[in-house]
């Protein structure tokens, strides 16, 4: 997939996989809309890329907010043009048993991890339907494949992301669009909100969770990256015959 001069929108871009994807797509010549609730962090990523000659803009975004998503879609359309790729990467987790997890924390995990994907797709689908061979990549997790004790909210949200990615993908296929549910493996990725301790495993605390993107089902497995620039064309089917994958 050639993304040169194309608009790529990435959430959770202040650190971890989001920042790495921003660098990869920037190196491939994409024009980047980088969004994160950690505005200072995503501004730093955008500034670093801009200094290297990449067109990158940073935007504050609470992915759980429908209004914020709609505003972002209109802003990026006005400032950069229509999106070609949307990567829903933002995510948080909470470590603790179901009974011990506060209701507000459980709900917040679902609102960010699932709601963020739903609202991102809702906001950007009108633009993506206008772009040839557009992509939506919804990042899931190994915990979206198997249930894990102490990660009830996170597992529920990631299983739901996989299910959601399958439904809209079938409808979008009529418009020559692809939607991929990515199942991450081993990559240091921040799963916290600004102000939270990073990398903590204590019960009841948000923490970093190792993640690495993987494409599955009909596509060849990748060692990392969500259709990395330069490799996507070799793994993806022709645009006129989109292959639906939900992982």
> Which pairing describes strands 83-88 and 7-11: parallel, antiparallel, or unpaired?
parallel
Q: Which one of the listed residues 59, 124, 143, 154 is annotated catalytic?
A: 154
H or E, element range at 235: helix 232-235
Question: Do the Cβ atoms of 182 and 137 come closer than 8 Å?
Answer: yes
Question: Locate tokens 């990395």: which residue?
Answer: 228
| Interatomic CA distance for residues 156 and 138, integer angstroms | 15
The answer to whether 154 is a known catalytic residue is: yes
Q: How far apart are CA 79 and CA 31, in angstroms?
A: 11
Rounded CA gap, 209 and 87, in Å?
19
Retrieve residue 39's tokens: 């505005």
* Residues tagged active-site: 154
């Amino acid at each position: 997939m050639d993304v040169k001069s194309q608009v790529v929108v990435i959430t959770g871009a202040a650190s971890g996989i989001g920042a790495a994807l921003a660098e990869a797509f920037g190196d491939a010549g994409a024009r980047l809309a980088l969004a994160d609730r950690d505005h200072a962090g995503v501004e730093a990523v955008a500034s670093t890329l801009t200094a290297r000659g990449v067109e990158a803009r940073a935007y504050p975004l609470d992915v759980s907010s429908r209004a914020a998503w709609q505003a972002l879609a209109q802003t990026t359309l006005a400032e950069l043009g229509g999106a070609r790729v949307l990567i829903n990467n933002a995510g948080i987790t909470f470590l603790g048993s179901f009974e011990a997890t506060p209701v507000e924390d459980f709900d917040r995990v679902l609102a960010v991890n699932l709601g963020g994907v739903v609202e991102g797709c809702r906001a950007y689908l009108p633009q993506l339907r206008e772009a040839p061979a557009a992509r939506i990549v919804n990042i899931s997790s190994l915990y979206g494949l198997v249930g894990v004790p102490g990660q009830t909210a996170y597992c529920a949200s990631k299983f739901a992301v996989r299910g959601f990615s399958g439904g809209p993908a079938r409808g979008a296929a009529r418009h020559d669009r692809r939607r991929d549910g990515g199942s991450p493996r081993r990559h240091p990725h921040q799963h916290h909100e600004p102000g939270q301790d990073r990398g903590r495993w204590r019960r009841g605390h948000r923490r970093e969770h190792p993640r690495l993107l993987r494409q599955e089902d009909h596509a060849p497995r990748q060692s990392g990256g969500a259709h990395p620039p330069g490799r996507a064309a070799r793994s993806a089917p022709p645009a006129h015959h989109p292959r639906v994958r939900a992982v």
